[in-house]
Amino acid sequence: MTETTTYTLIDGKKVASDIKEEIAQKVAERKQAGKKIPHLAIILVGDDGASQTYVDNKVKACKSVGFHYTMMRFADTISEEKLLKHIDHVNNDDDVDGFIVQLPLPPHISVERVTEKIRSDKDVDGFTNHNFGSIISKKPLLMPATPFGVMELLRRYNIETEGKHAVVVGASRITGAPLSMMLTELGHATVTICHKYTKDLATFTRAADILLVAVGKPGLITAEMVKEGAVVVDIGTTRVEGPQYPKGWAIKGDVDFKAVAPKTSYITPVPGGVGPMTIASLLFNTLRATELQNP
Ligand code: NAP
């Protein structure tokens, strides 16, 4: 068997930038027509450095497409009851079209209770059970941002999913599980879901036409685990420290990119693959929420 030596790098930065341009255009059209400008609110609890960076990037993205935005900051000592009350307040604020509560939350606050308090038509992260379940209705309301970003990357690179065997590694509530549902319901793929309890992971990954990995373990997927010509989507994002990196750290995916890429037909890099799509999806969902509430 001859090895594939050329592959297409899936450029998430470029696709995300295209999506942002499309959104900015729609915002300009709404403005011209005198319609409501999308307004995203971001709730941040505590002063976790990584969360602050994610939130800064979301604010920057809002500015770049012309959205209104509001930052709502709370000390990590806020009680769950007070935070839930505040969420209710935002739920009822007609000026806010969509909002997110940046994760993680302090341990004394239940992520599940907070998520479920968010009105589903304002849940632009797509985390509520209602939005999760809406995927199987084939008319999803607001789709979970990262999986939606992955589906959009596949669509924009004309990667056929129908009838293909998609193997998803990782089954979390916000990434692997909704992605598996979207691939089945919207992509018409045959889907295998692998998780921590999967025995002999390589048997499954080697059978994948499309391999999608969302675990958070750098180097989990090696070249021997990938079929020749497969499409590989790496969602993993782990900060790895070491003196060999110019900044003292680097962001790593779950796939051993150097060894795996030559075997693939398409592959996402980390960083610059799925990562930028998550924010693009958040903007897309916010525009959608605005269109639904204020057509
Ligand atoms: P998570 O909640 O920790 O879920 C990881 C999943 O992988 C779980 O289902 C876990 O099973 C499973 N798993 C653990 N070890 C495994 C193994 N050896 N083989 C197969 N499955 C295994 O994480 P997440 O939130 O889904 O995120 C996953 C990765 O994607 C992280 O690196 C995260 O940073 C990244 N991510 C990136 C973006 C982005 O915007 N680029 C967005 C979301 C997530 P158990 O639940 O049974 O432990």
Position 109: which residue type? I
Q: Delimit the CATH 3.40.50.10860 region(s) of the chain.
A: 36-119
Q: Are 56 and 279 in contact (CB under 8 A)?
A: no
pTM for the structure as a whole: 0.95
- Distance from Cα 126 to the centre of ligand 1, integer Å: 17
Structure tokens at 101: 């509560």
SS3 content of the chain, % helix, strand, coil (to 5): 40, 15, 40
Would you state the structure tokens that stand for residue 129, as one six-digit string?
A: 């059970």
pLDDT in tens, 253-268: 999 999 999 999 999 9
58 belongs to the catalytic site:
yes
Hey, what CATH topology would domain 36-119 get? Rossmann fold (3.40.50)
Q: Per-residue pLDDT for 9 more than 70?
A: yes
Q: pLDDT at position 241, please?
A: 93
Annotated active-site residue 125? The verdict is: yes
pLDDT tens digits, residue range 85-112? 999 999 999 999 999 999 999 999 999 9
Out of 15, 215, 235, mutate this one to test ligand 1's pocket (max ligand atoms within 8 Å of CB): namely 215
* Confidence class for position 19, pLDDT limits 50, 70, 90: very high
DSSP sequence for 159-203 = ---TT-EEEEE---TTTHHHHHHHHHHTT--EEEEE-TT-SSHHH
Best CA proximity match to 72, nearest among 94, 92, 50, 89: 89
**Dihedral pair phi/psi, residue 100, rounded to 5°:** -130, 155
Residues 6+ apart with CB under 8 A from 214: 146, 168, 169, 170, 172, 175, 176, 179, 235, 236, 254
User: How confident is the model over 54-92, as pLDDT tens digits?
Assistant: 999 999 999 999 999 999 999 999 999 999 999 999 999
pLDDT band at 3; cut points 50, 70, 90: low
Domain spanning 144-274: which CATH class is it, in words? alpha beta
Instruction: Write out pLDDT tens, residues 26-58.
Output: 999 999 999 999 999 999 999 988 899 899 999
pLDDT for the residue 119: 97
Determine the distance separating the centroid of ligand 1 and the alpha carbon of 193, expressed in angstroms.
12
